[in-house]
Structure 1
């Protein structure tokens, strides 16, 4: 583990942090002045790669005001020389304006003095772990664009790309829009014997039918009106390399015939041409459609399908690889920040959990767009769940409302038959039982919807407000069933008597008369006392 560098002119602060980190088996290195830190950073450049890897800091923890230099000035210099190094600024409560400046300068977080040592260690370890995760993502991303993933489906995909690396075979990539089909095609090309040749991509669904033939195969001068010069098509442009045909399922039938001939004979003619041209091209095709179904529908040639379907790679939906969402989100936030020249935003645990619950109909492309939106629109450096785009919050609300509904439907289907109503004679003189209200079964849905509405309105203390309402109803139900006897009510609710009394006082129920439940719904014997204990 890389050492944690501590900069503070107060030896007691350095000592406390050193001891606390050492108890967690975390190495440290301490400095009294910012100038010493800058000298140590400069010295790192004189070391070998192995020695530098052992000595360079994992996190820098710096006081904000020290003799001979400012922590903010040190932060600025460190951000210039080591932009990926997390910096935590220590500051007094009276100096929170400087803490704001620290965030603006790119600090990971700040510690307000006096601080809880255990919380300080937790913060330092979190900064270290986030940096390590980011570094691992960058290492995985080296030479592989945005193809990141630790999910089993992605690991299988990476292994398949590795097995196909020495091959020239045709590959068909399937998957929903936004799953990264072109990235896979580029990876196949980059790791193939054709890597030194060109990679040419064309979306067959984006080009009008009348122009697509010329785009693919080129045309001779004078082949049609407007063909003033000879034009090389995509097959010729990809000579010696790879041609990626995206959305192949939308290719017109007449062009499917020409493509089949190229794949079969390795030759083609330009539009208006008479001399065959040899195609030294590897073809990789992709589609989000079910090609077998399109063959059955008569809109895709079966022989072309079999020519393309030599090796098929299926890309999973993002909802099938939710464990990759944190890694992908960090990557996209980092990239958006670099593009905009700002400090990368960080996702809180609640925001990450919300993203992992979201279904992402637009898959990885939608996650990338969301991260770019957050980089621009999120109000704070740390993104909370409430800061997520409305489309995500609304999607989560709808999913949450549907889940209880389906659960209620299942419960209704499996519920035993209802008892038949009693006759007038049987009911005479006996209060009717409480009706089985459908609203009672919907309480969780109502609570969920109200919570979402309050959160979307930005109301404060939503948790306390709703929890108090639930507790109030539970206490009142206990009092109603036991006819006001608090000891029995606490026992039946599964809480202690003191807890019941304290909650009743906090919620203003002390001394209030609870509505009683009719005898038929109570376990009390007739004539039981109704006074509170």
Structure 2
């Protein structure tokens, strides 16, 4: 980690901060004037810069201006006397992270520097994370259309509206649009408008001045200012409160906005990319979304396909997410068996790519063994009804070798070892998988083992249905009272009563 620079003509201030930061195991470098600090920027940069505002020669504001021109992501804390509050306002307008009023409480000063340090490290990790992120994965024709659209929009600053179901990867596409645009070197700022309370959303977007509302003890830059020169991604734009839609429209129209409680207009040089899973046309008709804002956002529309529309990408995405999850945990990546991959590719997965990624994380942690079978998947998946699984049409050849494991909607599944007329549902696929495992292990009495498990599941389900009344359970199962009593004792089933 790079050192924290302290710039102040007062030697005692430099000494106090140096000693306090050293106790926190943070390295420092001190300068008695701004000119020396500006010259030092040619050879390197700090992690955080702490500067007095009034010094002989160049001021702290000049230093701030130089730093922000070259390194916009570097947090700068401006130190000022109480009489310099006008200068503090100028510092915030110039992009200062925070100001520290003199005389300051040393613990609060260190806490503020720590916050700036965290911000600096977070900012520094963004370019690295983006460079490690591969291009969006997808071989399906629907995704190729998306790739072509990103390519056409690469050199444009036009506003884009991304539509698609939740979890389909709208932010990933927005990042790709930014990454391949002329603004790629500038910030990409994302905000989910549905995740911020209505009372805070205006401040989150446009920032606020000190004292603008209760609790606003300092001025704060909003997302528009943070994204200056770059891209602002507004996710779930359909949930934006109606009154804030008016303010957003004004920014898109004339490129200016006001902080909450502010009187000086701020200029916004920002490309806006919006996204929603909702039908904005319907929300316009319902009076929930401004029609003029809709037309401002809907300059170029990019529709993302759901995972159901690109099932041939599920094996590719699954292997990628399993590898990523294993890398994060420092373990060997799990492998999906052909029946398990076929089963997974046939599921609805309403959460789309996000749900698939979460599932792969679950598999990496919870599934036993390196090769994952259908029975190793989460119980809520393997209990899907038959009509939640779709035909195998459209899957690549490598997956079609087990295509007969996938049922058509509302029809039985044809297993390789079962005649088509007999059919099978999801639990039968699991049963066959378990039977194959037992037979492969050469375990004796496979029929008896599976038979006991089968009877136990049936009786437990019947008892649950009848609230533990075994006589009623026997009637529901079509067996005698003595038979169910004997089976309950043999299988060691608890929770049954004679009532």
The interval holding the TM-score normalised by the smaller chain is 0.5 to 0.7
* Rounded Cα–Cα distance in structure 1 between residues aligned with 2:285 and 2:434: 50
2:146 aligned with 1:157: yes
Matched, 1:356 2:345: yes
| TM-score normalised to structure 1 length | 0.51
Matched residue SS, 1:201: strand
Which residue of structure 1 aligns with residue 157 of structure 2? 168
1:207 aligns with 196
Q: Secondary structure at the match of 1:280?
A: coil
- CA distance in structure 2 between the aligned counterparts of 1:450 and 1:394, rounded to whole angstroms: 7
The SS at the match of 2:384 is helix
Residue of structure 1 in register with 2:293 after alignment:
304
Q: CA deviation at 1:142?
A: 6.9
CA contact (8 A) 1:455 1:462 kept: no
Say whether the 8 Å CA contact 1:203–1:245 is kept in structure 2. Answer: yes
Partner SS, residue 383 of structure 2: helix
Task: From the superposition, tell whether residues 393 and 456 of structure 1 become closer, same or farther in structure 2 (CA, over 3 Å).
Answer: farther
1:395 CA displacement: 2.1
Q: 2: distance between equivalents of 1:347 and 1:193?
A: 41
The equivalent position to 1:327 in structure 2, one of 302, 316, 327, is 316
Q: Could you tell me whether the CA contact under 8 Å between 1:220 and 1:273 is conserved in 2?
A: yes
Q: Which one of 226, 229, 232 corresponds to residue 237 of structure 1?
A: 226
Partner of 1:126: none
Asked if structure 1 preserves the Cα contact closer than 8 Å seen for 2:373 and 2:433, the reply is no
Equivalent residue, structure 1, for 2:469:
none
The alpha-carbon deviation at position 457 of structure 1 amounts to 8.1
Paired residues of 2:375 and 2:434 also in contact (CA < 8 A): no
Instruction: Name the structure 2 match of 1:291.
Output: 280
The 5 Å alignment of 1:136-147 reads 144-145=133-134, 147=136
Please, which of 327, 337, 342 is the counterpart of residue 326 of structure 2? 337
Q: How many angstroms apart in 1 are the aligned matches of 2:427 and 2:145?
A: 43
Q: Which of 164, 182, 199 is the equivalent residue of 2:171?
A: 182
Residues 220 and 458 of structure 1: CA distance in aligned 2, closer, same or farther (over 3 Å)? farther
Rounded Cα–Cα distance in structure 1 between residues aligned with 2:389 and 2:184: 47
Structure 1 position 381 matched with structure 2 position 370: yes
Deviation, 1:351, is: 1.2
User: Per the alignment, do residues 185 and 157 of structure 1 end up closer, same or farther by CA in structure 2, a change over 3 Å counting?
Assistant: same
Change (3 A) 1:356 1:158: same
Q: 1:184 to 1:450 in 2, by over 3 A?
A: closer
Q: Which of residues 211, 224, 245 in structure 2 aligns to 1:222?
A: 211
Deviating more after overlay: 159-168 vs 452-461: 452-461
- For 1:256, which of 240, 245, 256 is the aligned residue? 245
Distance in 2 between residues matched to 1:251 and 1:389, nearest whole Å: 36
Deviations 1:394-449 (A, max 9, x none): 226453699788569xxxxxxxxxxxxxxxxxxxxxxxxxxxxxxxxx9856x536
Counterpart Cα distance in 2 of 1:449 and 1:200: 44
- Cα deviation per residue 1:451-491 (whole Å; 9 max; x = unaligned)? 257469879669997xxxxxxxxxxxxxxxxxxxxxxxxxx
| Structure 2, gaps ≥5 residues long | 1-129, 392-406, 413-419, 441-445, 448-499
Q: Residues 330-379 of structure 1, C-alpha deviation per residue, up to 9 Å, x if partnerless?
A: 11011111000001111111111111111111100111111111111111
Decide whether the 8 Å contact of 1:451 with 1:462 is kept in 2.
no
Residues 345 and 224 (structure 1 numbering): CA distance in 2 closer, same or farther, change over 3 Å? same
CA–CA separation in structure 2 for the residues paired with 1:443 and 1:395: 21
Cα RMSD, aligned residues only: 3.0
Give the TM-score of the pair, scaled to structure 2: 0.55
* Closer, same or farther: CA 272–378 of 1 in aligned 2, 3 Å: same
CA distance in 1, matches of 2:262, 2:290: 25
Q: Secondary structure at the match of 1:321?
A: helix
Secondary structure of residue in 2 paired with 1:392:
helix
